Chain A
Amino acid sequence: MKLLKLTTFLVAASMATGAVAQQDGGRLDLIVQPEPPGLMLGLVQNGPTQMVAGQIYESLLRYNGDLEPQPSLAKEWSISEDGMTYTFKLQEGVTWHDGEPFSAEDVIFTTKFLQDNHARFRGAFSHVESVEAPDDSTIVITMKEPYGPFINAFEAGSMPIVPKHIYEGTDYATNEMNATPIGTGPYKFVEWEKGSYIHLTKNEDYYLDGLPHIDDLYYRVVPDAASRAVAFETGEVDVLPGGSVENWDVARLTEMDNVCSTSDGWEFFAPHAWMWLNNREGPTSNKLFRQAVMYAMDREFVKDVVWNGYGTVPTGPVSSKTNFYTDDVPQYPHDPEKAKELLDEMGYDGEAVRLLPLPYGETWQRWAEAIKQNLEEVGITVDIDSADVAGWNEKTANWDYDMAFTYLYQYGDPALGVARNYVESQIKKGSPWNNVEGYVNPELDELWEAAAIEPDNEKRQEMYTEIQQQIVEDVPVAWLLEIEFPTIYRCNVKNLITTGIGLNDGLRDAWIED
């Protein structure tokens, strides 16, 4: 077996910027919003859970900002040339937070545990034939077919390794240990004062010497966006994760002394925002109407005003941060005249369309208002149809909308985070995380399928380029923005964001300068 890739790092610390000596100690206060429903990452995968529990649990790999795999619980790994066998060498001397030793058995158990509880894991592992542990520190995964994006499936939120000795033979959902999660990560769970804060502390027995640096992490729950801005202003918290304050507060906060901001740390997720246009009925079922919507929208204006300049106007379904992106696709600049021509051509009669905003705060409300104004300028009648989160879920999952805002993560590869919104097999009532718009294109479905299992990356790129060109021509959805959520923090917090998932696993390497 020829090794395509063999990477070894002695200590991760050696990668960090050299000259300055890293200081140990200190306490870091971060915002977590909203309060997570639970911290057992194998059972709950919502955003806030991943942000906190990503310090407690680990997966086999991590990913840098260019989405290249880095060691985590696996110190080395290799993929066979035919893409059918993945071999992982595990770190030595790893213990769970309760002192039990970690071994390959835990990884095997995890694959069973997540099979029952983790939708994304189920998707990725449907391509797997078997998982075996030839010895205590080796894992061999055999595939049913070569599946290119598989190497991206070992991120902490996608495949958190869970302790076999705690969960085997129990009812996972009601296991009492869910309240006091046990992982292998750099920080241990201490206390969760519901409604106030979650306290994690340094794992003194962490297997990487010298890590982590910070003694205590406090994730603070502050439900009001304006109060969160105040909390940062008054020095109560040191880190505002992306999206925790309204955009118009970002400029004010970043102008303060000793305050830094970065939009790094979201490359793996590459949040991509669009409006689902209902392809089944009403004016939005007409391709000319959908193209007119694209020309009518002033997306640069929204980026500059509603999002304060953060983000990138997308060219199509794949984010420019995701692998296999191309900009060689039809373009839709802001062109109201062109939009009116298209509407005339289709014979649009002024039938009103309902626009469902995302109920995630003021920014999203204003975004919907900006779009409504753009569309009315070219003669489209728009009714804004608001709902709360549960109502939004219900309406989109049951296709009760004409245009609906959403955004989805891409997980580094079109096969993981993009295909699900455009292939016919993903048209399923009852969930808002699939082909909700009802786009059907059998030719492209075949191409999606072939591209996912094509071992040659150049050929994959060709296929994804063709897919992107065709989809952008059809406009099944109206792409709005590659969202950037700036992380705002005190400048004396160093190495805060070192990976493609940013704060979700970044506290391992972070340290505080006095």
Chain B
Amino acid sequence: MAIAGAILSRLIKAAITLLAIAILNFFLVHAAPGDPATVLAGEAGAADEQMIADLRARFGLDQPLYVQLARYVGNIVTLDLGYSFRQGQPVLDLILDRLPATLILTLSAFWISLLAGVALGVAASARVGKFTDTLITGTALLFYATPLYWAALMAVLVFSVQLGWLPGFGYETVGSGYSGFERALDILKHLILPALTLGLFFMAVYMRMTRASMLEVAQQDFVKTARAKGLMPSLIRRRHILRNALLPVVTLAGLQAGQLVGGAVLTETVFAWPGIGRLMFESLAARDYNTILGVFLVSAAMVIVFNILTDLVYRLIDPRIGHKA
């Protein structure tokens, strides 16, 4: 019951936060120079005043800003994200179209980085100061410091252009007619490079955090007690040290999970992955207001949802947390 109450109060706060974010975003987006009408007219390579005036009227941009804001807020409280005039489609459809591709990519990268990062961190801490530790820490540092777009381009050059092992870009083989298992396998092949590239940075972060946290917990009294009791070292590491060392890792994972929707712009761009990040970036360049605001809102909602989920995971790992509150 306590958990249900906590979640409910969090949800109410979340709704208010979301509304505030939406209004703030509205002003931010409108503060950028230019508007969708001038961008569209600009791309046509020829325009007259009538064309720009027609476009503004069609987009509702000829109304005063407060009218536009009222309209927008009215729409989102009824869960209507509006219409993308540039793409001629409801924003919700655009986002839902792109959502699966993005989630496949970011969730794969999330799990790869989390599992590999924690495993490597545990391994490094078990052999602290030895060669294995130096190797893992050094590699992690390299991944941590490498700019994402560079790593992406190098991965494409090596594995796609030179070796020809994996496709260098795209979500699936276009026009292949694959379905079912064949299609899944095809998507998986296309997924490997972008997911690994995207996962590298966070893998390094998880690894360093797990290692440091493991070493810190290992110094504490209850671990000494466990050792004095004569428990197996592997059991101590798993049950006593790791479980306590995971809390900061979970905090970080919660942060990363919040970026699942909007956090892969660069990777999606380099690998031509048809996801939300690109939709957001391209809409921003085109000042496609409704689409940008829609993506921002969905991203913000994801951050809030994952914050709540992170809190719940804390309670699972460390039952003391719920009682203190």
Give the distance to chain A from B295, nearest Cβ to Cβ, in Å.
Answer: 13
Instruction: Tell me if A100 counts as interface (CB < 8 A to partner B).
Output: no
Which residues of A lie under 8 Å from residue B275 when comparing CB positions?
Answer: 195
| Residues of A with C-beta under 8 A to B286 | 37, 389-390
**Smallest CB-CB A-B distances: 10 pairs:** A195-B274, A390-B34, A46-B43, A394-B33, A394-B34, A222-B272, A45-B44, A391-B33, A393-B42, A119-B51
Stretch of B164-172, B209-217, B247-255, B300-308 at the chain-chain interface: B164-172
Say yes or no: B170 contacts A236, CB within 8 Å.
yes
Determine the distance from Cα of A443 to Cα of B45 in the docked complex, in whole angstroms: 27
Q: How many A-B residue pairs have CB under 8 A?
A: 166
Question: Could you show 20 A-B contacts with beta carbons less than 8 Å apart?
Answer: A27-B175, A37-B87, A38-B86, A44-B44, A46-B45, A122-B48, A199-B174, A218-B174, A224-B272, A227-B270, A230-B168, A231-B272, A234-B167, A389-B39, A393-B41, A431-B49, A431-B52, A432-B38, A433-B42, A433-B47
Q: Taking CB as reference atom, which chain A residue is nearest B174?
A: A197
Is there a chain A Cβ closer than 8 Å to B257's Cβ?
no
Shortest CB-to-CB span from B44 to chain A, Å, is 4
Distance between B198 CB and nearest chain A CB, rounded to angstroms: 15
Measured CA separation A194–B94 after assembly (Å): 8
In the complex, B223 has a CB within 8 A of chain A: no
Which residues of chain A are within 8 angstroms of B42 by Cβ–Cβ distance?
Answer: 389, 392-393, 432-433
Could you give, for residues 422-458 of chain A, a 1 whenever the CB lies within 8 Å of some chain B CB and a 0 otherwise? 0000001011110000000000000000000000000
**16 more A-B contacts (CB under 8 A) besides A37-B87, A409-B45, A433-B45?**
A46-B40, A47-B43, A119-B41, A119-B50, A122-B50, A194-B87, A197-B175, A220-B170, A223-B269, A227-B270, A230-B160, A408-B45, A420-B46, A428-B48, A432-B47, A433-B41
Contact A393 B168 (CB under 8 A): no
Instruction: Report yes or no: A390 in contact with B35, Cβ–Cβ below 8 A.
Output: yes
Q: Is there a chain A Cβ closer than 8 Å to B64's Cβ?
A: no
The answer to whether A119 touches B171 (Cβ under 8 A) is no
Contact indicator B161/A119 (Cβ below 8 Å): no
Q: Shortest CB–CB separation between residue B200 and chain A, in angstroms?
A: 18
Q: How far is the CB of B279 from chain A (nearest CB, A)?
A: 7
**Within residues 201 to 229 of chain A, which ones have a CB less than 8 A from any CB in chain B?**
216, 218, 220-224, 226-227
What residues of A have a CB within 8 angstroms of the CB of B171 in the complex? 196
What residues on A are CB-neighbors of B270 within 8 Å?
224, 226-227
Contacting residues, chain B, for A224 (C-beta < 8 A): 269-270, 272
Asked if A173 lies at the interface with its beta carbon under 8 angstroms from chain B, I say yes
- B304 CB to nearest chain A CB (Å): 26
Specify which chain A residues have a CB less than 8 angstroms from the CB of B80 in the assembled complex.
Answer: none
Within 8 A of B (CB), among A310-325: none
A234 to B166, CA, bound (A): 11
Please name the residue on chain A nearest to B98 by beta carbon. A195
Q: Which residues of the other chain, A, contact B94 by a CB distance below 8 angstroms?
A: 194
In Å, the complex CA distance between A390 and B32 comes to 9
Chain A interface residue count, CB cutoff 8 Å, equals: 58
Bound complex: CA of A109 vs CA of B169, how far in Å? 43
The answer on a CB contact under 8 Å between B274 and A196 is: yes
Given contacts A234-B168, A389-B39, contact A431 B47 (CB under 8 A): yes
Contact assessment for A120 and B46 in the assembled complex, using a CB-CB cutoff below 8 Å: yes
Q: Is B40 a contact of A37 with CB atoms below 8 Å?
A: yes
| CB pair B44 A46 closer than 8 Å | yes
Q: Flag if B48 contacts A431 (CB, 8 Å).
A: yes
Main SS of the interface on chain A? mixed
Task: A431 to B43: give the CA distance in the assembly, Å.
Answer: 11
Q: How far is the CB of A57 from chain B (nearest CB, A)?
A: 16
User: Do A227 and B175 form a contact, CB below 8 Å, given A46-B43, A390-B32?
Assistant: no
Q: Is B287 located at the chain interface by the 8 A CB criterion?
A: yes
Which residues of chain A from 60 to 110 have any CB-CB distance to chain B below 8 Å in the complex? Answer: none
B318 within 8 A of A: no
- Flag whether B282 is at the interface (Cβ < 8 A): yes
Contact B160 A234 (CB under 8 A): yes
> How many Å lie between the Cα of A481 and that of B138 in the bound state?
50
B316 at the interface (CB under 8 A from A): no
Is A233 in contact with B161, judged by CB distance below 8 angstroms?
yes
Identify the interface centre among A216, A221, A391, A431: most chain B CB within 10 Å of its CB. Answer: A431
Q: Name B131-155 residues within 8 Å CB distance of A.
A: 153
Complex CA–CA separation, A502 to B228 (angstroms): 82
- Which B residue's beta carbon lies closest to that of A397? B38
Q: A195-B274, A387-B33 are in contact. Are A47 and B45 (CB under 8 A)?
A: yes
Residues of B within 8 A of A393 (CB): 34, 38-39, 41-42
- The chain A residue sitting closest to B83, CB to CB, is A174
A497 to B: closest C-beta gap in Å? 20
Q: Is the Cβ of A196 less than 8 Å from the Cβ of B170?
A: yes
B272 pairs with A227, CB closer than 8 A: yes
From residue B104, how far is it (CB to closest CB) to chain A in Å?
14
Residues of B with C-beta under 8 A to A119: 41, 44, 46-48, 50-51
Question: 1/0 per residue B47-72: CB within 8 Å of A?
Answer: 11111101000100000000000000
Docked-complex contact A388 and B174, CB < 8 angstroms: no
Give the shortest distance, in Å, between A48 (CB) and chain B (any CB).
8
Q: How far is the CB of A315 from chain B (nearest CB, A)?
A: 23
CB distance from B160 to the nearest CB of A (A): 6
CA distance A426 to B289 in the complex (A): 30
Q: Is the CB of B274 within 8 A of A226?
A: no
How far does the alpha carbon of A157 sit from the alpha carbon of B145 in the complex, in Å?
Answer: 48
Most interface-central of A44, A123, A179, A230 (chain B CB within 10 A) = A230
B88 within 8 Å of A (CB atoms): yes
The CA-CA distance from A458 to B301 in the complex, in Å, is 68
Find chain B residues with CB under 8 A from A345 CB.
Answer: none
B92-110 contact mask (Cβ, 8 Å, vs A): 1 or 0: 0010011001000000000
**Most central of A27, A47, A122, A223 by chain B CB within 10 Å:** A223
A218 proximity list for chain B (CB < 8 A): 174-175
Over the window 185-226 of chain B, the binary record of Cβ atoms lying under 8 Å from chain A Cβ atoms (1 yes, 0 no) is: 000000000000000000000000000000000000000000
B48 CB contact (under 8 Å) in A45, A116, A123, A194: A123
Q: A350–B276 Cα gap in the complex (Å)?
A: 48
Instruction: Give the contacting residue for A179; candidates B44, B46, B88; CB below 8 A.
Output: B88
> Are A45 and B156 closer than 8 Å at their CB atoms?
no
A255 within 8 Å of B (CB atoms) = no
Cβ distance A44 to chain B, nearest Cβ, rounded Å: 7
User: Is there contact, CB below 8 Å, between B98 and A194?
Assistant: yes
CB pair B169 A230 closer than 8 Å: yes
Interface residues of B in 233-292 (CB under 8 A from A): 269-275, 278-279, 282, 285-287
CB atoms of A220 and B174 under 8 A apart: yes
Report the Cα distance A44→B274, complex, angstroms: 23
